[in-house]
Amino acid sequence: MKIIGITLLSLIGVLGLGWAFTGNDFFLYKVFAPKYEAVRRETFEQSKAYNQGMIQELQSMQFQYEQASDEHKEALASIILHRCADYDDAQMPSDLRSFITKLRYAHTRAK
């Protein structure tokens, strides 16, 4: 009877420790996961691949804008401005930067 009690108490102790470690892991994940994700995103946004890809995409959109009819230009301008809203203008080539500035000026005048 004593052996069964000790075994049962040991089993309950092991399960309790497992539950405590799992809860601790969840707590640590809840606290630190947003910070890890923020660092990961910042690192990605500073990468050469991201910056080159963004510039190429914006230049492609600029070309589409210049080729578009007047009816489509307003929609394209809105998409372009939305796409580059959080992008650092200093990363852009000067011709693309002036194009975006022109779009922003025209968009604010139209409102």
DSSP helix, strand, coil percent of the chain (3-state; round to 5): 90, 0, 10
pLDDT of residue 6: 87
Q: In degrees to the nearest 10, what's the CA dihedral of 81, 87, 89, 92?
A: -100
| pLDDT, tens digit only, all 111 positions of the chain | 788 888 888 989 888 888 777 777 777 788 888 999 999 999 999 999 999 999 999 999 999 999 999 889 989 999 999 999 989 888 899 999 999 999 999 888 776
| Number of helical H runs and strand E runs in the chain | 4, 0
From CA 61, how far away is CA 64, in angstroms rounded?
5
DSSP summary character for residue 86: T
**What letter would DSSP give residue 84?**
T
Q: What are phi and psi of 3, to 5 degrees?
A: -65, -40
pLDDT at 111: 63
